[in-house]
Chains A and B, each alone.
Chain A
Amino acid sequence: MNCPLYIRSVPTQGELKFHYTVHTSLDVVEEKISGVGKALADQRELYLGLLYPTEDYKVYGYVTNSKVKFVIVVDSSNTSLRDNEIRSMFRKLHNSFTDVMCNPFYNPGDPIQSKAFDSIVSTMMVQAC
């Protein structure tokens, strides 16, 4: 249930650490989304904001209506990233993700191998860094 559909990091050497960070942040995400007992979901809920700042990076979370979770980990030193930008990143991710979903050849639950998705993620990461 909680296996990553897609994971990508820019400095690829520390990838494993990011894997771990993302996995631990899932707990925070779960906690945030379970606390809200509302029937209606809105953008505010989807974007979970800063999950927790640790060490030298910050973790942002976003959950879709279908409980697919996006997690972004950014360096704390990267102070130029404002909340709006993070939101827009999540929005782009969500859009790309829905495009992937629309592909009838994609089985939900499979790792995402879409090149379009990859390209969007790369673009975003380049922008952020």
Chain B
Amino acid sequence: MESLTLSDVEQKYYSELFLSCDVDNTKKVASNGKVLDLFRAAQLSNEVVHQITELCGATRLGHFGRSQFYIALKLIALAQSGLPLRVESLNSVRDLPLPRFVMGKNEQETRHAVMFADTENQGPYFPRPPGRVQAKKVSAHEMIQPCVPTVDPQPDTTSPVVSPHQSPPTSPHAWRKHKRQASGGNVDRQPSVPGVVWPPFREAQPGPVTGDGMWSAHSPPPVQESWVSFTDTPPSSTLPMHPPSAQPESTTVRTVPSAMTTNEIQRQISGYDDPWKITDEQRQYYINQFKTIQADLTGLIPGSAAKEFFTKSKLPILELSHIWELSDFDKDGALTLDEFCAAFHLVVARKNGYDLPEKLPESLMPKLIDLDDSAGVPEPATEVDFSASPVEVTPNKSPSMPSLNQNWSELNQSNEQWETFSERSSSSQTLTQFDSNIAPADPDTAIVHPVPIRMTPSKIHMQEMELKRTGSDHTHPTSPLMANPPELSDETKLAATIKFPGTTVGDGYSSSDSFTSDQEPISSAVNRQRSHSGTSPEGLKVVAPPPPPPRPHASHSRSSSLDMNRNFAAVPAGPQQPGVVAFPPAVPPRPLPTQTSVPHGHRSVEGDGLPAHTSTSPHQMPEQPNFADFSQFQAFAVDQPADDGENTSDSGQAERCAETTGTMKTAKNDIQSEERNATTVNSAKVSTPLAPPPKPVRRRLKSEDELRPDVEDLPQKSNVIATVLATQPSIPRSIGKDKKAIQASIRRNKETNTVLARLNSELQQQLKDLLEERISLEVQLEQLRPFSHL
């Protein structure tokens, strides 16, 4: 190293500076960070600083040894004097003023006592202790000259170099006094001292004791220099943040920060790389502040409280907003302790004039492990109370950083995954994408219940799919059924289950095998209801009003009177047993009158049946009582095919819910009854053999059974019975579920009612016919016996 001759003053000064920078006390290195900050505080351009660094050999060495440091300082002085930087001039220039370092000022510097812990040897050139300790509010001084401002009145302090030799003794005293705070003498001088940044901290208390300690360990000058560096920027607000937040507390708190700052300053040079690190003291301060808002350190500060708190810092809302964005790591609208510390740190930095970073610095990222303490100094410059903590690269930081980074990257990764997922899902052509969680973020993670969908084009399925959709359908597989949703969309939106079945029922009648979804019970139940109602109230597009589901229309397959069924069954089975057809109820046959009243047949089925019946064969006479049955025979004869179909479907349906087919049958029954009427008229004229009737009769008989369950005792015919039994049991068995059973029974009863009502009407008509016949007969008799009562 070039030999360097320093004057005494310089020597002292430089040594102090070096000590301040040499946090590690290695006597050889002041890490680049602090040194660079210091150099910047010299208000030299960066190139000059680099040049100086190179010249002094630090670049070569990678660090600043003492000699390098001294050289650098000297070069700084040279530069500041406007002299060209040359190594030769190091020793050649005499009377070089001491390098000047700027320090910001602060009204509250007075409080900043601690900084000047050790003043004894400090040359007067030390920059004014940042903390103007005592309550002396020093007016902001831009420059803290190495000179002894204490001596000079404040305005003069700007004459930096000049006063190096002035009142050297004073400064130490001043410092000491500053340090002690209480010293009034210093106080006097204090004012003259350029403000120090940290006034706020330095509440006149011994709070900074720690700082004191530290400072005593290190020469104030270095401290001050760092202070200086911090206070480059306009001193204006001293901790605007803090003042608002309870002055008294801020005072105490400030002391901590001030202590921190000194510490940080010392570490600053070492931690230069990471200006955003938070020192212990700072963190402690932040934690204390956190406690004022939220006692639980593991808890969260709500956004509104944080807003109020940080608004006190008087930063523009836009910047606060930006700070919030940076610091609210998990985007939850609340601040954890880490987030709060980061935000606070950013506010401090901003108040010190540091620009807010675009992205959260790694050191500020919320850490799982709290209290990582690395002093971070954003950049030399502001006076803020908090001293942008001097940067210090602590080894323990590094491990945490990578972990943080990993977390961050993982988080990003997960976000990416979310994105991809959402894209993936959106690519599936689902009609509905339920964004169940709109709020934060991921719109497409709605849970989808896999619902089995029967991929048949049945409308019932479509309806069921609609049901599922409303339920929570996310990845609704495309299917041909989806083509329908638009039509059903309206219905879907409404009380789904109820509606659907309605339409389903209407549409589903065409396909009887539709209930395979889990909606089945509901829809079937509703179907039943619907069938009872016979209409789809909401005006759904029901193809056909679901006819009541009674299976065999009027067959009342589930009817109680097994006998009747048996009888009826037997009837068709054994057409050769006309007598067999014994019809259950023993309505006294009235063949004669009925025969004559053939023409009235079409009034009622039974009526038709009667005449036809009577006319057909005498053996049917005994069946007269069951004329209804016969008429039903006739009717059945006509409707046989349909009835057959109903029968089969009925039995088939028996196995299943049976509603649809039942309703179908019912519908058909209704329709067929009319047909029957018409046909029976025709058939009445014809002597219909019993052959056709048997099958229809079975049906009809069954209905008759139900119609007159109580009335009749059916003469048993094995065949009939067998057939009837065959069909009968199947039906009740099919309905296993209670609800369905109830519904079915309700339906049955209703069917029974209707059938009975119809039968009643028919009987009434027959009665009328008979009466007419009787009247006519009497008239004839009268005519035949004209003279009977002569």
| B317 A105 Cβ-Cβ under 8 A | yes
| A104 B441 Cβ-Cβ under 8 A | no
| Interface-lining segment among B162-170, B271-279, B429-437, B694-702 | B429-437
Q: B246 within 8 Å of A by Cβ?
A: no
| A95 B325 Cβ-Cβ under 8 A | no
Chain B residue at smallest Cβ distance from A99: B331
Q: How far is the CA of A103 from the CA of B304 in the complex (A)?
A: 9
> Of the candidates B307, B438, B440, which one forms a contact with A64 in the assembled complex, judged by CB atoms under 8 Å apart?
B438
Q: A122 within 8 Å of B by Cβ?
A: no
| Interface-lining segment among B23-31, B254-262, B419-427 | B419-427
Given contacts A84-B423, A87-B426, A91-B422, contact A104 B306 (CB under 8 A): yes
Q: How far is the CA of A126 from the CA of B332 in the complex (A)?
A: 28
| B444 A43 Cβ-Cβ under 8 A | yes
| B433 A43 Cβ-Cβ under 8 A | yes
Q: A58 within 8 Å of B by Cβ?
A: no
> Of the candidates B324, B331, B423, B446, which one forms a contact with A104 in the assembled complex, judged by CB atoms under 8 Å apart?
B324
Chain A residue at smallest Cβ distance from B441: A95
| A102 B328 Cβ-Cβ under 8 A | yes
| A43 B431 Cβ-Cβ under 8 A | no
Given contacts A43-B434, A88-B423, A116-B325, contact A102 B331 (CB under 8 A): yes
Q: Could you tell me the distance in whole angstroms from the C-beta of A17 to the nearest C-beta in chain B? A: 29
Chain B residue at smallest Cβ distance from A88: B423
Contact with B along A88-107 (1 / 0, CB 8 A): 10011011001110111110
| B435 A42 Cβ-Cβ under 8 A | yes
Across-interface contacts of B441 in A (CB, < 8 A): 95, 98
Across-interface contacts of A119 in B (CB, < 8 A): 358
Given contacts A102-B328, A102-B333, contact A87 B435 (CB under 8 A): no
| A94 B438 Cβ-Cβ under 8 A | yes
| B324 A43 Cβ-Cβ under 8 A | no
| B321 A98 Cβ-Cβ under 8 A | no
Across-interface contacts of B331 in A (CB, < 8 A): 98-99, 102
Q: A38 within 8 Å of B by Cβ?
A: yes
| B433 A44 Cβ-Cβ under 8 A | yes
Inter-chain contact total with CB atoms closer than 8 Å: 88
Q: Could you tell me the distance in whole angstroms from the C-beta of B327 to the nearest C-beta in chain A? A: 10
Chain A residue at smallest Cβ distance from B304: A104
- Looking at A92, A105, A114, the one whose CB has the most chain B CB atoms below 10 A away is A105
Given contacts A42-B434, A84-B423, A115-B358, contact A106 B321 (CB under 8 A): yes
Chain A residue at smallest Cβ distance from B322: A115
Across-interface contacts of A105 in B (CB, < 8 A): 307, 310, 317, 320-321, 324
Q: Could you tell me the distance in whole angstroms from the C-beta of A96 to the nearest C-beta in chain B? A: 10
Q: How far is the CA of A111 from the CA of B321 in the complex (A)?
A: 13
Q: Could you tell me the distance in whole angstroms from the C-beta of B621 to the nearest C-beta in chain A? A: 68
| A87 B423 Cβ-Cβ under 8 A | yes
Size class of the B contact interface (CB-based, 8 Å): 35 or more
Q: A76 within 8 Å of B by Cβ?
A: no
B308-344 contacts to A (CB < 8 Å): 310, 317-318, 320-322, 324-325, 328, 331-333
Chain B residue at smallest Cβ distance from A65: B438
> Of the candidates B306, B333, B427, B442, which one forms a contact with A84 in the assembled complex, judged by CB atoms under 8 Å apart?
B427
> Of the candidates B324, B423, B432, B438, which one forms a contact with A44 in the assembled complex, judged by CB atoms under 8 Å apart?
B432
Q: Could you tell me how many residues of chain A have their Cβ less than 8 Å away from some Cβ of chain B? A: 31
> Of the candidates B332, B434, B435, which one forms a contact with A102 in the assembled complex, judged by CB atoms under 8 Å apart?
B332
Across-interface contacts of B444 in A (CB, < 8 A): 43, 91
| B333 A104 Cβ-Cβ under 8 A | yes
Contact with B along A111-129 (1 / 0, CB 8 A): 0011110010000000000
Given contacts A43-B443, A84-B427, A88-B423, contact A114 B332 (CB under 8 A): no
Q: How far is the CA of A107 from the CA of B320 in the complex (A)?
A: 12
| B427 A44 Cβ-Cβ under 8 A | no
Across-interface contacts of A113 in B (CB, < 8 A): 318, 321
Q: How far is the CA of A53 from the CA of B592 in the complex (A)?
A: 84
- Looking at A46, A95, A104, A106, the one whose CB has the most chain B CB atoms below 10 A away is A104
Q: B619 within 8 Å of A by Cβ?
A: no
Q: How far is the CA of A83 from the CA of B429 in the complex (A)?
A: 10
Q: How far is the CA of A91 from the CA of B636 in the complex (A)?
A: 66
Q: B449 within 8 Å of A by Cβ?
A: no
Across-interface contacts of B324 in A (CB, < 8 A): 103-105
Q: How far is the CA of A88 from the CA of B396 in the complex (A)?
A: 40
Q: Could you tell me the distance in whole angstroms from the C-beta of B626 to the nearest C-beta in chain A? A: 58
Q: How far is the CA of A46 from the CA of B440 in the complex (A)?
A: 15
Across-interface contacts of A85 in B (CB, < 8 A): 423
Q: How far is the CA of A95 from the CA of B422 in the complex (A)?
A: 12
B268-317 contacts to A (CB < 8 Å): 303-304, 306-307, 310, 317
Across-interface contacts of B433 in A (CB, < 8 A): 42-44, 47
B443-463 contacts to A (CB < 8 Å): 443-444, 446
Q: Could you tell me the distance in whole angstroms from the C-beta of B83 to the nearest C-beta in chain A? A: 44
Chain B residue at smallest Cβ distance from A100: B325
Across-interface contacts of A84 in B (CB, < 8 A): 423, 426-427
Q: How far is the CA of A95 from the CA of B444 in the complex (A)?
A: 12
> Of the candidates A38, A88, A102, which one forms a contact with B426 in the assembled complex, judged by CB atoms under 8 Å apart?
A88
> Of the candidates A46, A83, A88, A99, which one forms a contact with B438 in the assembled complex, judged by CB atoms under 8 Å apart?
A46
Q: Could you tell me the distance in whole angstroms from the C-beta of B470 to the nearest C-beta in chain A? A: 8
Q: B768 within 8 Å of A by Cβ?
A: no
| B432 A42 Cβ-Cβ under 8 A | yes
> Of the candidates A94, A104, A115, which one forms a contact with B443 in the assembled complex, judged by CB atoms under 8 Å apart?
A94
Q: Could you tell me the distance in whole angstroms from the C-beta of A53 to the nearest C-beta in chain B? A: 20
Across-interface contacts of A41 in B (CB, < 8 A): 435, 438
| A115 B325 Cβ-Cβ under 8 A | yes
Across-interface contacts of B423 in A (CB, < 8 A): 84-85, 87-88
Chain A residue at smallest Cβ distance from B444: A43
Q: Could you tell me the distance in whole angstroms from the C-beta of A5 to the nearest C-beta in chain B? A: 14
Q: Could you tell me the distance in whole angstroms from the C-beta of B325 to the nearest C-beta in chain A? A: 5
A38-81 contacts to B (CB < 8 Å): 38, 41-44, 46-47, 64-65
Q: How far is the CA of A128 from the CA of B163 in the complex (A)?
A: 64
Q: B368 within 8 Å of A by Cβ?
A: no
Chain B residue at smallest Cβ distance from A95: B441
Chain A residue at smallest Cβ distance from B424: A84
Q: B733 within 8 Å of A by Cβ?
A: no
Q: B439 within 8 Å of A by Cβ?
A: yes
| B443 A102 Cβ-Cβ under 8 A | no
Across-interface contacts of A106 in B (CB, < 8 A): 321
Q: B737 within 8 Å of A by Cβ?
A: no
B557-605 contacts to A (CB < 8 Å): none
Across-interface contacts of A92 in B (CB, < 8 A): 419
Chain A residue at smallest Cβ distance from B324: A103
Across-interface contacts of B304 in A (CB, < 8 A): 104
Q: B739 within 8 Å of A by Cβ?
A: no
Q: How far is the CA of A88 from the CA of B423 in the complex (A)?
A: 6
Q: Given contacts A46-B435, A91-B443, A94-B443, list 18 more A-B pairs with CB under 8 A.
A: A42-B432, A43-B434, A44-B431, A44-B434, A84-B426, A84-B427, A87-B422, A91-B444, A102-B328, A102-B333, A103-B324, A105-B310, A105-B321, A113-B318, A113-B321, A114-B321, A115-B325, A119-B358
Of the A-B pairs whose beta carbons lie under 8 Å apart in the complex, a sample of 23, sorted by A's number, is: A41-B435, A42-B436, A43-B432, A44-B431, A46-B435, A46-B443, A84-B423, A87-B423, A87-B426, A88-B419, A88-B422, A91-B419, A92-B419, A94-B443, A98-B439, A99-B331, A103-B325, A104-B303, A104-B304, A105-B321, A113-B321, A114-B325, A115-B322
Q: Which 10 A-B pairs have the closest CB atoms?
A: A104-B303, A43-B435, A43-B433, A104-B307, A105-B321, A102-B333, A42-B434, A87-B426, A95-B441, A84-B427
Mark A residues whose CB is within 8 Å of B: 38, 41-44, 46-47, 64-65, 83-85, 87-88, 91-92, 94-95, 98-100, 102-106, 113-116, 119
